[in-house]
Amino acid sequence: MILADVKVRAAADADANAMTGLAYRAMESNGHSKEEVAKFADSLHITPERLQSCRFWAAEDEDAIIGCIALEVLERGAGEVRSFFIAPEHQGRGIGRRLIRTLETIAHTQGITRLQAHADPVSVKHYQNFGFRVEGTVPSRTCPTMTVPYMVWDI
């Protein structure tokens, strides 16, 4: 597989299960056990409601979805990167960068000037490579007693 063969397209309702499966596998690839990942189920599960509230893109090769990303539009020119996952066997090949560029381009057209992300601590370096900086910590959505890095990118 070469990067040029990977297609990025708007995701549809029919992609929800494939993207959810990807989310679980990608989080396990960050070193989280299956038990830990199960605790994040609420935030990992890509439900029909999530597909309505965010704009999703999928990256696919010939026969499967191998990456996804979502943009949630917030108030005052802000947006949040959600559900950003690349299949473990395809990580580090530039697919994440392609997805974030797609999201950035669309965010611009919607008047968004600041993107934020609640990052898994393991992915902070990736986000920094994309242009984000750490602005502090926020309570984890899945486990409010834990905090996670809060990252911001002025686009």
Instruction: By CB under 6 A, name the binding residues for ligand COA.
Output: 26-27, 29-30, 84-86, 91-97, 119-120, 122-123, 125-126, 129
Q: Which residue is nearest to ligand COA (CB)?
A: 96
Give the residue with the Cβ less far from ligand COA, 69 or 112. 69
Q: How far is the CB of 125 from ligand COA (least distance, A)?
A: 4
Q: How far is the CB of 122 from ligand COA (least distance, A)?
A: 6
Tokens linked to 38 = 């199960």
For 43, phi and psi rounded to 5 degrees? -85, -20
Q: How far is the CB of 44 from ligand COA (least distance, A)?
A: 9
**Burial annotation 8-36 (CB, 10 A radius, 16+ → b, else e):** beebeeebbebbbbbbbebbeeeebeeee
Give the residue with the Cβ less far from ligand COA, 91 or 102. 91
Which H/E stretch holds residue 107?
A: helix 95-109
Count the Cβ atoms, other than its own, within 10 Å of residue 114: 15
Q: How far is the CB of 3 from ligand COA (least distance, A)?
A: 9
Give the residue with the Cβ less far from ligand COA, 31 or 77. 31
Give the residue with the Cβ less far from ligand COA, 51 or 86. 86
DSSP state at residue 98 = H
Alpha helices in 30-94, H assignment, sequence order: 34-39, 41-44, 48-53
